[in-house]
A and B are shown apart, each in its own frame.
Chain A
């Protein structure tokens, strides 16, 4: 037998804001169920592509999986006088698909810097109000006048005959003289040139930076050669123009690149240097060998040497030292780099570079972690850059696979943060005087971790950035967060912790994570932070670290050097963990719902033993403890008729009548009932267990596990984790039973802030008013320092005045009473107490 001791201990009004999600999982609406958004656990298979022999239902590449391949042999010259690139690129394209190809598309990314490029003409107006600076004006005019874009000199086949080609904005179609059969390869070459953008004036993923004081440049060169467009099983030719946001979808291949630069420049590049004896000084070669075995970064080119090199003077002895065999002074050097199995190629060159390096043991190989930066980057860069690279390789490797390349490089230059195979460009620098803020320090470490991390996603797990930004940015930001947490305690990670995403998710005006790159509304929050947070929640709260880490690693290994799609990721995570996650992908990736679970109602039930004497006493006590009504209170003094007309009193007014008295028959009935019970039933009846039925409401739309901390009357507490499956029968509202021998005095939802719950005001029972962030801050810091100091001063002055007053008062008392005690502690205490009591008021 149960009774509801207190019908409702707490109840809130239901807001009933039950907007439909943008995506309805079920094929048909279901008016016969109260779920506002349908079944949250409905499987999302119908949204995913049908599995096939290229991409299986388990999320793994299928037996017929294919991807194209492109190998490059490029000779490029960097013109330092004119900031220009000229090159001849020979491309071997391999048709690994089962399809016949009549043409090949090639990306001409530099064309976005043409004045009439879509990226320019489709851009909104910049802010010109209330004023505009000279720098801004220069930038606007630069963009108008800059002669950007590829100047294609020729497109030829292997025999040297011209190939017909058509340029469409940032893409060029090369028509093949005859169709290319499956399994066939074709070689063609493109001779071209382009002007390198001035990063001071035009923002881009590559460019040059000029240093006025020494007259030198740092060049960061990327998207510098015509790259074959991806031809995939799910899109055919990737046909989205390069507008700016959506990045690159590229084929893997081998590169053999010869880079000709001024002789006194140092070059950092994708790949391994194939001719060190021709371009490196003997001292550098020696230092590199030593650095390979070192556990700390070592200078290959020291700050002093870099400073000296800025002068640009050719040193006769240097020319003979490098053993080139060249006669006399040479003006250029050609650095040859070879890279295997990469999807892109970038390099940097400067006279200003300091160069440091350290060997990092990764599996069976030693990876050279190297940093290149000017003296303007010191002391920040030599302290942190190469260590951050090494840290990234170590941590990312644990969660995915061993870094497969021979080098990992970080370069400081005009590009703030951009990734390429084996090399990335990063921005932060200290102040002129060499000092730096905490913000700058952590910005540097974070951006290096992030950009080096991109080697894993998407350079090796080669997802389609043009279409799905989150597949590399989100996954990489997630691993970046894990790496940062292993750098030092309380690392100021901007992304990853669930509570960090709350300000974004609690508002409207969003698009789902599963949105094409060019249509995303708030890039950073949508494609970086939200997916990273979702993965963190999956790891910490939904799956647990062991299951998640295994599944995530399985995904990375399965798709290493291949091209996964979102469905491959979703399927693999479920396949490798044994956890049904469709509800999670649905809520976090396909919808713009948010997490907002609230405690709506708490009911307490206890076992009613049925003992009539106990029941009577209880009712008597309830009556006695009940507050009299307002009328009863006011009527208490009113004269009552039966008081002055005693004849009106009868049995029911007499002391013999007890409305709570228990009949003997009731007692006998109770005894009889007890005798009919067995021992276990009798024992159950004796229990004083509390049964709390708590009603939870899902205000935000996303179902999540219910994590609640129960606080007991004896000052203990416990965490109860209710699996998400509790929402299966109703995604809007659910009741959960908590059984306890102890009295629960307080409940708190999501105490560790692990679900990104956007509204904490409904997370408490008894209800707790949670003010807005602003009001919280204002109330906690109502006084500024000056006011506090003034108040302190005033309080001290008042105290002194009071003491003086009391002292003069005591003197006059002492004059009146010859033997009066001079014990003034009480007075002193009073005078001391007064200011504090006054101030507390």
Chain B
């Protein structure tokens, strides 16, 4: 058994905040997620470093980027320093055919923001990857932050019961991702951390109802 010791946090300034709502009509989760612009940039860099062949266009016929098949992806490498410096970049940054499209963002959420309908351990997360389809809508800059907008369409139109949010866990061991579940009264809030990456959409003793 590996003794897992995480690196300590410096000044924890990067967090994500997301709002998620189940649309009964479209049978999709609608997600608006706010990231620090630095994290958005970091994800882009890491996706280019680790996934040089992701230039392949996965756009669907309607022009929106979707992911039809789940391919387990390598998590981007650790190290905040690797995002903020280019010193050790002895290998070239590959150019993706899509340039600044949402594809690398979409690919990232496909492996880091997961809806599931059974109990999982994070080690078995890949089992659920084959199920949902992700639909990318776009981004919006918001003064130092970036909002990502996307939908998750579970297979069979059935609403899963859990959310696993591992955004930026590989970058910050103390990352805390906040998710507000809309459409419930009162609305509920989850905080996803390394210790607790998964939360159930049903009532959960870990969650505290918001006002």
B30-A775 in contact (CB<8A): yes
- Whether a CB of chain A sits under 8 angstroms from the CB of B68 is no
Q: Is the Cβ of A203 less than 8 Å from the Cβ of B9?
A: yes
Interface residues contributed by chain B, number (CB under 8 Å): 88
Q: Least Cβ distance of A759 to chain B in Å? A: 10
B30: nearest residue on chain A (CB-CB)? A774
- Known contacts being A135-B78, A524-B12, is A429 close to B84, with CB within 8 Å? yes
Cβ–Cβ < 8 Å partners of A772 in chain B = 19, 21, 30, 32, 182
Instruction: Specify the chain B residue showing the minimal Cβ separation from A146.
Output: B5
Among A126, A204, A427, contact of B194 (Cβ-Cβ < 8 Å): A126
Partner of B75, one of A132, A139, A211: A132
- CB-CB contacts below 8 Å: A114-147 with B: 115, 119-121, 123-136, 139-140, 143-144
Pair B32/A524 contact, Cβ less than 8 Å: no
Q: A775 — which chain B residues lie within 8 A by C-beta?
A: 30
Contacts of A458 in B (CB 8 A): none
Chain A nearest CB from B165 CB (Å) reads 11
Which B residue sits closest to A444, measured CB to CB? Answer: B84
How long is the Cα–Cα vector from A473 to B10 in the complex, in angstroms?
Answer: 13
Q: Enumerate chain A residues within 8 angstroms of B210, measured Cβ to Cβ.
A: 506-509
- A507-B180, A509-B178 are contacts. A139–B7 as well, Cβ < 8 Å? yes
Give residues 117-173 of B contacting A (CB, 8 Å). Answer: 121-126, 129, 137-138, 140, 143-145, 147, 149, 166, 169-170, 173
Q: Mark A586-625, 1 if CB is under 8 A from B, else 0.
A: 0000000110100000000000000000000000000000
Q: Does A522 contact B (CB under 8 A)?
A: yes
Decide if B144 touches A492 in the complex (CB within 8 Å).
yes
Output the nearest chain B residue to A125 by Cβ-Cβ distance.
B4
On chain B, the residues within 8 Å of A700 by CB distance are 211
Q: Which residues of B contact A417 (CB under 8 A)?
A: 10-11, 13
Which residues of chain B from 181 to 198 have a CB within 8 Å of any chain A CB? 182, 186-191, 193-195, 197
The stretch from A59-67, A386-394, A776-784 touching chain B is A776-784
Given A128-B122, A203-B80: A508 in contact with B85 (beta carbons within 8 A):
no
Central interface residue in A19, A427, A528, A787, by most chain B CB within 10 Å: A427
Q: Are A521 and B180 in contact (CB under 8 A)?
A: no
Contact A128 B50 (CB under 8 A): no
Checking A120, A136, A430 against B170 with a beta-carbon cut-off of 8 angstroms, the contacting residue is A136
Q: Cα distance A497–B143 when bound, in Å?
A: 10
8 A Cβ contacts from B49-85 to A: 50, 62-64, 72-82, 84-85
In whole angstroms, what is the CA distance A236 to B7 when docked?
A: 31
* Given A428-B84, A429-B85: A120 touches B5 (CB 8 Å cut-off): yes
**Are A781 and B137 in contact, with the CB atoms below 8 A?**
yes
On chain B, the residues within 8 Å of A594 by CB distance are: 211
Distance to closest chain B CB from A528 (angstroms): 7
Q: How large is the interface on A (under 10, 10 to 19, 20 to 34, 35 or more residues)?
A: 35 or more
For residue A487, give the distance in angstroms from its CB to the closest CB of chain B.
13
Flag whether B41 is at the interface (Cβ < 8 A).
yes
Distance of A533 from chain B, by nearest CB (Å): 14
Q: Which secondary structure characterizes the binding site on chain A?
A: loop
Task: Judge whether B97 is part of the interface by a CB distance below 8 angstroms.
Answer: no
Interface string of A441-456 (1 = CB under 8 A from B): 0110010000000000
**Interface flag for A313 (CB, 8 Å):** no
The CA of A506 and the CA of B209, in the complex, are separated in Å by 11
A463 CB, nearest partner CB in chain B, Å: 16
| In the complex, A639 has a CB within 8 A of chain B | no
Q: Which of A225-233, A316-324, A431-439, A679-687 contacts B (4 or more CB under 8 A)?
A: A431-439
A748 within 8 A of B: no
Nearest residue (CB) in A for B199 is: A509
Contact A245 B9 (CB under 8 A): yes
B208 touches A131 (CB 8 A): no
Judge whether A523 and B176 touch: CB under 8 Å. yes
Please name the residue on chain B nearest to A112 by beta carbon. B8
- Beta-carbon contact of B209 and A437 below 8 Å: no
Looking at the assembled complex, report how far the CB atom of A299 sits from the nearest CB atom of chain B, in whole angstroms.
21
Chain A neighbourhood of B37, CB < 8 A: 439, 442-443, 492, 494
Residues 502-540 of chain A, each 1 if its beta carbon lies under 8 Å from chain B, else 0: 011011111000000000011111001000000000000
CB interface residues, A 474-516, toward B, < 8 Å: 490, 492-495, 497, 500, 503-504, 506-510
Complex CA gap A432/B90 in Å reads 9
Residue in contact with B4 in the complex, picked from A131, A140, A374, A493, CB distance below 8 Å: A140
Q: A140-B4, A416-B10, A524-B14 are in contact. Are A786 and B81 (CB under 8 A)?
A: no
Knowing A416-B80, A429-B86, the reply to whether A774 touches B194 (Cβ < 8 A) is: no
Interface centre among B7, B80, B84, B121 (most CB of A within 10 A): B7
Query: B211's contact among A17, A204, A415, A427, by CB below 8 Å, is which?
Result: A17
Q: Quick check: B3 and A144 within 8 Å, CB to CB?
A: yes
Say yes or no: B137 contacts A494, CB within 8 Å: no
Given contacts A416-B10, A509-B191, contact A130 B178 (CB under 8 A): no
Contact partner, B13, options A132, A213, A528, Cβ 8 Å: A528
- Tell me which residues across on chain A come within 8 A of B30, comparing CB atoms: 772, 774-775, 778
- CB pair A503 B180 closer than 8 Å: yes
Specify which chain B residues have a CB less than 8 angstroms from the CB of A473 in the assembled complex: 11
CA of A447 to CA of B107 in the docked complex: distance in angstroms? 29
Additional 19 contacts, C-beta under 8 A, given A127-B197, A507-B178: A121-B5, A123-B173, A126-B6, A127-B122, A128-B122, A134-B77, A135-B77, A135-B82, A203-B7, A204-B8, A376-B86, A427-B80, A428-B84, A439-B37, A492-B37, A508-B187, A510-B189, A699-B211, A774-B30
Interface CB pairs A-B, < 8 A, 8? A123-B5, A129-B123, A144-B5, A203-B8, A415-B10, A416-B84, A492-B144, A503-B19
Residues of B within 8 A of A (CB): 2-15, 17, 19, 21, 30-32, 34, 36-38, 40-41, 50, 62-64, 72-82, 84-90, 111, 121-126, 129, 137-138, 140, 143-145, 147, 149, 166, 169-170, 173-174, 176, 178, 180, 182, 186-191, 193-195, 197, 207-211
Sorted nearest first, the 9 A-B pairs with minimum C-beta distance are A508-B210, A494-B144, A507-B189, A203-B7, A124-B195, A127-B169, A244-B8, A508-B189, A786-B63
